[in-house]
């Protein structure tokens, strides 16, 4: 029992730092760049993604023995799209302001690589409880990263933090906001600098090769470095996610395996 609990904690925490979906796995870059013009937008987008990610992990994991293997990707997309529709209606009803500022990127959560990626790499072969914790962890990691990018861009680009004016910015003889950080180029630049920072930190923490060289082939839709293609030139959906993570993050793989042998 204690072992089980530890494993759940691990599923939760791995998404926050070690396998942070945005900064390490580089998934979900579109919303990360587009909506992070302010800290509140970043957090709002993150919370919306948590909602969809946890529920889609739950549903897909519960249905993992029902969905035929051949049509799983369309099934997952339909499940995710339905959840996004529910979320969209909820936001329209209760948080119209947030809905308006996130705009088109709420329906676009459907094609966020993180959600389909977790469904494919995790939820379709793990228990419901594990999948929920995995979704929560990944969602919190994504939200944190969005919050950091949003906060930096808001402070530098608009001189505010969560909409409140900072004391030393704006007036005469004071610092002026740097508009370009609110514009698209600032998004690319801040995101790039943040990944560089996280690579530096993760090198110190885990003593491994730069994190962005991780094998990402089990994420459909993420085509970084072209690794999504299998030998036959088709999109590859490897059957085992543990094998590929074993090649990159040795400690997590051995931990996973030891958990499994306990069961």
Q: Which residues bind other proteins (CB under 8 A)?
A: 26-27, 29-30, 33-34, 73-74, 77-78, 81-82, 84-85, 88-89, 104, 107-108, 110-113, 116, 180, 183-189, 191-193, 195-197, 199-200, 203, 210, 212-213, 220-226, 228-229, 233-235
Q: What CA–CA distances, in Å, run from 139 to 16, 27, 161, 182?
A: 8, 12, 22, 24
Q: Which of residues 132 and 158 has its CB atom nearest to other proteins in the complex?
A: 158
How many Å apart are CA 207 and CA 200, to the nearest integer? 10
Q: How many CB atoms lie within 10 A of CB 10?
A: 18
Bridge partners, 169 (sequence order): 175
Q: What is the nearest approach in angstroms of other proteins to the Cβ of residue 125? A: 20
Least CB distance to other proteins at residue 147 (A): 18
Could you give the CA distance from residue 201 to residue 213 in angstroms, rounded to a whole number? Answer: 15
Query: What are phi and psi for residue 229, nearest 5 degrees?
Result: -95, 135
Answer for the pair 76, 83: CB distance below 8 angstroms, yes or no: no
Nearer to other proteins, 64 or 88 (CB): 88
End-to-end C-alpha distance for the chain, whole angstroms: 10
> Closest distance between other proteins and the C-beta of residue 91, in Å?
12
Q: How far is the CB of 254 from other proteins (least distance, A)?
A: 26
How would DSSP label each residue in 157-170? HHSEETTEEPTTBS
Quote the least distance from Cβ 82 to other proteins, whole Å: 6
Residue 110 or 244: which CB sits closer to other proteins? 110
> What is the token pair recorded at 131?
């999948």
Nearer to other proteins, 33 or 128 (CB): 33
Torsion angle, alpha carbons of 188, 193, 195, 198, to 10: -160
Q: 151 with 46: CB under 8 angstroms? A: no
Q: Which is nearer to other proteins, 5 or 234 (CB)?
A: 234
Residue number with CB closer to other proteins (96 or 184): 184
Query: In the complex, what is the shortest distance from the CB of residue 69 to other proteins, in angstroms, rounded to a whole number?
Result: 16
The distance of closest approach from Cβ of residue 20 to other proteins in the complex, given in angstroms and rounded to an integer, is 13
**Which of residues 61 and 182 has its CB atom nearest to other proteins in the complex?**
182
With tokens 């035929």, the residue in question is 68
Asked if 20 and 139 count as a contact pair (C-beta separation under 8 A), the reply is no
């Amino acid at each position: 029992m204690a072992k089980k609990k530890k494993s759940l904690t691990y599923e939760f925490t791995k998404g926050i730092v070690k396998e942070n979906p945005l900064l390490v796995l580089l998934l979900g870059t579109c919303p990360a760049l587009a909506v992070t013009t302010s800290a509140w937008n970043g957090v709002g987008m993150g919370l919306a993604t948590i909602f969809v990610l946890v529920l889609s992990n739950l549903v897909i994991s519960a249905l993992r023995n029902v969905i035929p293997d051949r049509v799983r990707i369309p099934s997952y997309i339909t499940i995710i799209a339905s959840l996004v529709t529910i979320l969209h209606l909820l936001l329209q009803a209760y948080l119209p302001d947030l809905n308006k500022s996130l705009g088109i990127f709420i329906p676009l959560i459907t094609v966020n690589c993180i959600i389909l990626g977790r469904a494919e790499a995790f939820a379709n072969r793990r228990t419901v409880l594990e999948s929920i914790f995995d979704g929560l962890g990944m969602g919190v990691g994504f939200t944190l990263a969005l919050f950091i990018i949003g906060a930096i861009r808001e402070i530098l680009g608009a001189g505010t933090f969560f909409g409140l004016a900072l004391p030393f910015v704006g007036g005469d003889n004071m610092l002026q906001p740097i508009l370009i950080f609110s514009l698209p180029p600032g998004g690319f630049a801040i995101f790039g600098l943040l990944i560089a920072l996280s690579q530096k930190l993760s090198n110190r923490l885990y003593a491994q090769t730069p994190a962005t060289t991780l094998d990402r082939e089990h994420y459909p839709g993420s085509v970084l470095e072209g690794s999504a293609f299998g030998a036959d030139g088709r999109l590859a959906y490897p059957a085992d996610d543990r094998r590929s993570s074993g090649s990159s993050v040795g400690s997590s793989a051995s931990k996973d395996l030891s958990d499994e042998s306990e069961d």
